[in-house]
Amino acid sequence: MKPAPFEYVAPTTVAETLELLATRGTDGKLLAGGQSLVPMLNFRIARPETLIDINNVAELSYIDRRDGELHIGALTRHAELERSALVADHWPLLGEALRWVAHPPIRNRGTIGGSVAHADPAAELPVALTALDARFVAESHRGRRVLDPDEMFVGPLQSGLEPDELLVEIRIPPLARPFGCAFLELARRHGDFALGGVAVVLGRGGDRCREGGARVVLLGAGPGPRRAPEAEALLAARPVDEDAARAAGEAAGRAADPPTDPHADAGYRRHLAYVLTRRAVLRAWERT
């Protein structure tokens, strides 16, 4: 199918984009990499009256470190993040998660802002960004606000952004060293959306994780990225070894609330949460 007719506008600045969003309201839709939106337009799942193409808004594309934090412009492509030495050196979880996202041509176009705003429960970046405790900066004609992962990933394909808001920046705090991280998932074919996955970040303090230093976040185990707080707590309470990894996996399986769909049932996905978490904890710990 082809999209329903729409008006096409291509602003070149954030200010212009915000003005367009304010006047178009719910009838306007932002176009970034188009890797999710264009199929939705073609299937007429989305029928905006105006398409606001932000690909010419150059000020939305950057990867910077400011006061130790990583600042990423919303229009930054997946491939640029994958190639960034700054990201690889200080936030390696992001690059590891991105290698699971679709295929290179899609990563050349897809943007971090589009992936966040699309809020697909099977997407890798929202899970990695939750594990990294990222913050999301949104702007509208009413001003600027900062959302945390719980506020941003509200439900399946439902972000916390208002229709007139533009996601402008993603901020990731520094990870205290020593730390180790790992991202694992299972898909039927590499590049397909995953049946399940997990992002693990472990901040080491001796033979266990520092208090509050463990993050375990599941993919495909709920309406959005799903933290496993019981698993996180036990990794700070006992030495991290095979037994602790198994216990963390079991806790992750209990935290998972996955759907049953034609691809896999909930019981299988819960088991996947257990297996992948156990493996990812051991891999992340080896890297500390």
Residues that bind ligand FAD (CB under 6 A): 29-37, 74, 101-102, 106, 109-111, 113-115, 117-118, 123-125, 161, 166-167, 193
Angstrom distance (rounded) from CA 205 to CA 213: 9
Query: Considering beta carbons, is residue 114 or 203 the nearer one to ligand FAD?
Result: 114
Question: Minimum distance between the CB of residue 7 and ligand FAD, rounded to whole angstroms?
Answer: 15
Angstrom distance (rounded) from CA 116 to CA 277: 23
Question: Minimum distance between the CB of residue 102 and ligand FAD, rounded to whole angstroms?
Answer: 3
Query: Considering beta carbons, is residue 135 or 208 the nearer one to ligand FAD?
Result: 135
Do residues 155 and 118 lie in contact, with contact meaning Cβ atoms separated by under 8 Å?
A: no
Query: Considering beta carbons, is residue 30 or 282 the nearer one to ligand FAD?
Result: 30
Question: Minimum distance between the CB of residue 128 and ligand FAD, rounded to whole angstroms?
Answer: 10
Angstrom distance (rounded) from CA 263 to CA 137: 35
Query: Considering beta carbons, is residue 167 or 248 the nearer one to ligand FAD?
Result: 167
Angstrom distance (rounded) from CA 161 to CA 139: 9
Question: Minimum distance between the CB of residue 284 and ligand FAD, rounded to whole angstroms?
Answer: 21
Query: Considering beta carbons, is residue 50 or 288 the nearer one to ligand FAD?
Result: 50
Question: Minimum distance between the CB of residue 38 and ligand FAD, rounded to whole angstroms?
Answer: 6
Query: Considering beta carbons, is residue 32 or 256 the nearer one to ligand FAD?
Result: 32
Neighbouring CB atoms inside 10 A of 261's CB total 11
Question: Minimum distance between the CB of residue 234 and ligand FAD, rounded to whole angstroms?
Answer: 29
Question: Minimum distance between the CB of residue 109 and ligand FAD, rounded to whole angstroms?
Answer: 6
Region of residue 212 (left: phi > 0; alpha: psi -120 to 50; beta: else): left
Amino acid identity for residue 153 in this structure: F
Query: Considering beta carbons, is residue 102 or 276 the nearer one to ligand FAD?
Result: 102
Question: Minimum distance between the CB of residue 117 and ligand FAD, rounded to whole angstroms?
Answer: 3
Do residues 160 and 133 lie in contact, with contact meaning Cβ atoms separated by under 8 Å?
A: no
Query: Considering beta carbons, is residue 94 or 167 the nearer one to ligand FAD?
Result: 167
**β-sheet bridge partners, residue 287:** none
